[in-house]
Structure 1
Amino acid sequence: MCQTKAQFVETVNKLLHCQKGAISKSEIKAMVTYLGEVTQVFTDTDMNDSPKTQTACGVAISPVQAAKCFEETIRTQMFAQGVANAIADKLKVEIKPVRILYAGTGPYATLLLPLLAASTEQLNVEITLLDIHQENITAVEALIAHFGLESYQIELVHGDATQWRPNREQQFDIIISETMTALLKREPQVFIFKHLVQYLRSDGVLIPEQVSLKTWLTPQSKQSKGDLLIGEFFCLDRERAQALNRGDDTCFCAELIIPDGDWAEHVVKLTTDIQVYRDLSLHEGDCSLNIAFAFSPYDAVLTANQAIVFKYVQPDSPDFSVIFPKPEWKQTNFKLPQPSDTGALGLVQIKRSFQRAYLIKRGERAATSEQEWQAELYLYDALSLNSREVIGKMYELERFTDFEKWLSEQVTPLDNVTINAINYQCLAKITDAGT
């Protein structure tokens, strides 16, 4: 636990200089605990007691939720190092103070104040800290006083970063904002950069420098080869932010062509790659910002040489609309088994799901309801199975008996009581679908 200011500073220095992933979760947690004691904003607080704020461009998460972001070890490390390196690079070439705007500070101003607290000399910087929650502004004020940073020229602003304008003509060398989730959903990162980029100097730096959203074809079977990149469907960087600020929103729409081939055993996966600063980056598996999203094979039937259409829509909660090509369904008179039909294992839904996969990979129409898909996921979870692996095996095998044989090898033997309980819950989830 970081019980003293000296211990906290020591951990900050390690955070800023160690290799990716070399700082432990316990060390990060100790830093969070220390900052919580200073600000009285604790990460173990019930998030219902710390309200978010809805803006016209997305959700500004609550102070507690913002504080919890610090606990993501690699995320905090890469962003903190990126900011530190960007400042150091600017200080090497700038005679005048380096002007920094940090939008969406949260209660800890995670990416800046710990760096200032750990610095052995006063950095030649002028800082504007901007946040929409007064609770965060108050917490940051407490940290500035606690670490004795009053000698710095720091302006604290309570405001919406998508609307804020400086009181005087002002250009910044570095603009920082980490107000996003994976795939740039829900939070206003895009619209903050769209607005604030007008206040960035011609040689200024946005942090993160780039957020790249990509589309992949992913095999459902572990025996198949790795992911195949279709392409990038959106990128947020300085150039796109400037275009958006000028009113050019063409980057909000994209089309990617599904490659030639048979993709019946693949699903579409969307990923988020973040270049924080230069070679400091975050990729799939590093943190919650890099969580990949895979479409159900029932929602995304892949037609070679046809386009997937992406459009970034901005209701109160920004998100991408993804439209897959309409498949040219073959006509079939085959009737799917009922959800209650069972095979040798005595489990419901499995026979129906297998037959649906069999039809789909032959280009025949076999739609499913959302309730049925959730029931299917419940079934896999109850059997402690990976849904992607199970569906991949459905597409791989031609006969239901072979599939059930494989399935029986993946699960521990089930007694009748357990089977009946699983079947009951599964069918109950389908009831509302009217199947």
Structure 2
Amino acid sequence: MLFFIITIFEITLPLLPMKDLKMIAEVLIKEETDFFELKETIENYKSIVYKLSELDLTTIKDDNDLFFDTGKALGTKWAALCLNDLLRTKKFVQGTYKAIRKKLKEKQAVKVLYAGTGPFATLILPILHLFSSDQLKVVLMEVNQETCQYLKKVINTLELNDYVQEYIVADASKFKFNENQRSDIVVSETMQRALEKEQQVAIMMNIFSQMKDDTFMIPQSIKLYAALISSFDPTLKSEKTYEILDTVFDLNPELINTYHKEFNESNEYNFPPKVVTITHDKADFKNFAILTEVQIFDDIVLKYNKSSLTVPLILNDISGLTENKNITTYYHASSTPSLKVTFEK
């Protein structure tokens, strides 16, 4: 009798968080956004994954980031904290779900490669159960061994192993994929605003160039805009106090297909420069800035100042401008990747 009771308990235990994950998925994938509901949902999501992974942020070192010749990979603590970015989490989950559904209209089974999972595979975990394990398989890729151990705990406890084709612990910016690892959808959110410091560009240049011709890339496009800003108050999310001058970099499939060969053959790479002009009649703006816009999938977009990923990078003061000024920009891929900006003297 005792064995029977224990068996029932062990079978039932994963069902409670799975029920919660279904409710979380419903909120994250729906079209409209109720921010009060979203905040409560993310708090619930956090409580579940922290408990399942047994991750205690107070015991994790602050400085366990990893550094490569293609940029920085976040340590376990900082990767876990990405979940706090409400709209980023919602839109990436929503976009990934939409991409999977679109692929399933073309074929019976879909494979997703998720590079940079962090300790929870945050962007795909809540939607796995919305598909059968025959419909969906995932390749989970994480460079940080410690982080991957927490991820495996979450997957094992939720009994989601049937969805996982394999775990890969490796640098996604350099890894060579075999035929069985080539996927229908590639997901990676390994970026900061203005594509600074982290490996997003190098990861997508490496992975996407090895995938099938019809593979979906998430995000589909990351645009960096040269812009002018008159003021910036993070609390005024709807106030438009900026003007976009031009797109100066766009990480998308076309760019990858054009430059991946020479990019992957070099430890450092400069993409073609773009020159923009600030005319002297724009002196009422205060600063030149770089804005980031992330098209996650189709119409699902993270726009200006809606996320930590799209907070403006404010650069030169232009308030005293008396004549037209040319600015040269180019994206520099290296161990400290960033958009380089040079003002004409």
2:338 alignment partner AA: D
- Match 2:341 to one of 312, 317, 322: 322
Superposed CA deviations along residues 132-170 of structure 1, whole A, max 9, x for unmatched, are 011222122222222222223521011000111124465
* Superimposed CA distance per residue, residues 29-80 of structure 1 (whole angstroms, 9 cap, x where no aligned partner): 22112101111224x4366356110111111011111111111111100000
Preserved CA contact (<8 Å) 1:253 1:310:
yes
- What does 1:93-104 align with in structure 2 at a 5 Å threshold? 93-95=106-108, 97-104=109-116
- Shift in CA distance, 258/83, structure 1 to aligned 2, threshold 3 Å: same
Indicate whether 1:27 and 2:27 are aligned.
no
The offset of 1:304, in angstroms, is 4.3
- Aligned match for 2:176, one of 165, 168, 174: 165
CA contact (8 A) 1:197 1:241 kept: yes
| 8 Å Cα contact 1:128-1:154 kept in structure 2 | yes
Question: Are the aligned partners of 1:218 and 1:228 in contact in 2 as well (CA < 8 Å)?
Answer: yes
Match of 1:313 in 2: 332
SS of residue in 2 equivalent to 1:203: coil
TM-score scaled by length of structure 2: 0.84
| 1:257 maps to which of 256, 277, 280 | 277
- Give yes or no for contact 1:211–1:275 (8 Å, CA) kept in 2: yes
1:240 touches 1:251 (CA, 8 Å); kept in 2? no
For residues 212-254 of structure 1, the C-alpha deviation after alignment (integer angstroms, 9 at most, x for no partner) is 11112223599xx953221111111111122231226674421
2:77 matched residue in structure 1: 64
The structure-2 alpha-carbon separation of the partners of 1:314 and 1:4, relative to structure 1 and needing over 3 Å to count, comes to: closer
Query: What is the letter of the counterpart of residue 283 of structure 1?
Result: K
Q: Bigger shift: 131-140 or 161-170?
A: 161-170
Amino acid at match of 2:118: G
Cα offset, 1:197, TM superposition:
1.3
The SS at the match of 1:45 is: helix
Q: 1:4 to 1:303 in 2, by over 3 A?
A: same
Residue deviations 1:352-397, cap 9 Å, x none? xxxxxxxxxxxxxxxxxxxxxxxxxxxxxxxxxxxxxxxxxxxxxx
Deviation for aligned residue 1:185: 0.1
Aligned residue for 2:209, secondary structure, equals helix
Q: 1:289 aligns with which of 300, 309, 321?
A: 309
Change in 2 beyond 3 A, CA 1:212/1:144: same
* Cα displacement string for residues 274-323 of structure 1 (whole angstroms, at most 9, x for unaligned residues): 0000111111221100111222427x864644320112223422112211
**Cα pair 1:174 1:206 within 8 Å, conserved:** yes
SS at match of 1:151: helix
In structure 1, C-alpha distance between the alignment counterparts of 2:87 and 2:27, rounded to whole Å: 13
Q: What are the ranges of 5 or more consecutive residues in structure 2 without an aligned counterpart?
A: 1-14, 234-239, 264-268
Contact kept? 1:53, 1:61, Cα under 8 Å: yes
The 10-residue stretch of structure 1 (189-198 or 243-252) with the greater mean CA deviation from structure 2 = 243-252
Question: What displacement does 1:269 show?
Answer: 2.1
Instruction: Report the residue type matching 1:269 in the other structure.
Output: A
Q: Considering fraction of residues, name the structure with more strand.
A: 2
| Compared CA separation, residues 220 and 155, structure 1 to 2 (3 A) | closer
Match of 2:295, SS state, is strand
Gaps of 5+ in 1: 327-435
TM-aligned CA distance change 1:295 to 1:47, over 3 Å? farther
Aligned counterparts of 1:145 and 1:272: Cα–Cα separation in 2: 37
Cα distance change of structure 1 residues 49 and 216 upon mapping to structure 2, 3 Å threshold: closer
Q: Mean Cα displacement is larger for which, 145-154 or 79-88?
A: 145-154
Instruction: Tell me the equivalent position of 1:109.
Output: 121
* CA distance in structure 2 between the aligned counterparts of 1:205 and 1:106, rounded to whole angstroms: 21
The 1-side partners of 2:244 and 2:261 are apart by 31
Identify if the C-alpha distance between structure 1 residues 310 and 106 changes in structure 2 by more than 3 Å, giving closer, same or farther: same
What's 2:188 paired with?
177
1:81 aligned to 94, 108, 126, which one? 94
CA contact (8 A) 2:289 2:316 kept: no
Aligned CA distance change for structure 1 residues 318 and 303 (closer, same or farther; 3 Å): farther
Counterpart of 1:237 in structure 2 is 252
Number of equivalences: 319
Show the 5 A alignment for 1:382-397: none
1:8 aligned partner, one-letter code: L
Q: Tell whether the 8 Å contact from 2:287 to 2:315 is kept in structure 1 after alignment.
A: yes
Amino acid in the other structure paired with 2:274: A
Q: Given the superposition, is the C-alpha separation of residues 318 and 301 from structure 1 closer, same or farther in structure 2, using an over 3 Å criterion?
A: farther
Out of 195, 198, 204, which is 2:209 matched to? 198
Is 1:41 matched with 2:61? Answer: no
Q: What is aligned with 1:341?
A: none
Q: Is 1:155 matched with 2:166?
A: yes
Alpha-carbon shift at residue 264 of structure 1 (Å): 5.6
Query: Quick one: higher RCO (CA 8 Å, sep 6+), 1 or 2?
Result: 2
1:216 corresponds to: 227
CA distance in structure 1 between the aligned counterparts of 2:338 and 2:208, rounded to whole angstroms: 21
* 1:246 paired residue number: 261
Q: Are the equivalent residues in 2 in contact too, given 1:182–1:272 (CA < 8 A)?
A: yes
Between the aligned residues of both structures, percent identity stands at: 25
Residue equivalent to 2:28: 15
Distance 1:160-1:221 versus aligned 2 partners, 3 A rule: closer
Shift of 1:200: 2.0
